[in-house]
Amino acid sequence: MKTVIITGGNGNLGSAVTQLFLERGYQVVVTVSSEKGKSGFAPHPNLYIYVVDLTQEKETAAFVEKAIEQYQVIDAALLLVGGFLMGNLDATSTEDLQKQISLNFETAYHVARPLFKHLMKNKQGNIVFIGSRPALNPLQGKELTAYALSKSLLFTFAEQLNEAAKGVNVRVSVVVPSTLDTPLNRQSMPAVNPDQWVKPSEIAETLEFLVSDKSISYRETVIKMYKNA
């Protein structure tokens, strides 16, 4: 049985991913940001929930160390935590940028940094980040300055890790959805057909493929899931 860390497991995407991985027989270690966040999960014998402030490096490192000690081998981490902020350059302060970097990059970095060492020691494993199309497309990113810049760091980081893992079966991927089909997005964009958007369940299937043995020969860092959006 593979053991997978899923950060932000109680969000719209995280809930779908957690459910699918439990259904597929994984041991799932989920992080939430508060005790209240635990309440949304149904009991499951292979589900373990931890309250962790992923913006704090030492606290997150202690969590990763504890997880490795308790479960012996961590096979993968799906780093789903993030935050969104509208605003072009004129509307974006340095404080806005720092907050977005903390949410979208540091929460992933703080898990990936200690876990990568563990995966390299075991010579196998996966880390998956959730990227953003505005981080790849400057035309879309110009109205989302802080968000796009913070997400862009994940692509460089993934490439660096993959370069360090050459010759070892440790793979780092960035899954890039277009618009997620969530209740909030449906409410905020009522004129758009949600059939064009990517469903959380579809992303969950892709993440499971990346973590499974079916993708053993796969070496593509960026996986774009744009559908028709």
CA–CA distances in Å: residue 77 to residues 130, 144, 216:
11, 27, 16
Instruction: Give me the torsion for CA of 135, 108, 80, 98, rounded to 10°.
Output: -60
**What is the structure's pLDDT at 195?**
76
Reported as half-sphere exposure (CB side, CA atoms, 13 A), residue 40 has a value of 17
CA–CA distances in Å: residue 220 to residues 106, 158, 166, 210, 215:
23, 11, 13, 10, 10
**Cα radius of gyration (the chain):** 17
Asked whether the beta carbons of 102 and 54 are under 8 A apart, the reply is no
**What is the structure's pLDDT at 183?**
74
Quote the pTM value. 0.94
**What is the structure's pLDDT at 188?**
67
**What is the structure's pLDDT at 216?**
86
> First vs last Cα of the chain: how many Å apart?
36
CA–CA distances in Å: residue 212 to residues 55, 126, 157, 201, 215:
28, 9, 22, 16, 6
Q: Write out the residue range of the structural domain in which residue 94 sits.
A: 3-225
| Parts of the chain with a pLDDT under 70 | 188, 191
| Distance between CA atoms of residues 115 and 125, nearest Å | 10
**What is the structure's pLDDT at 138?**
85
When divided into structural domains, the chain yields a total of 1
* 116: CATH: 3.40.50.720
Q: Which residues are paired to 182 by β-bridges? A: none
| Best CA proximity match to 54, nearest among 131, 111, 114, 129 | 111
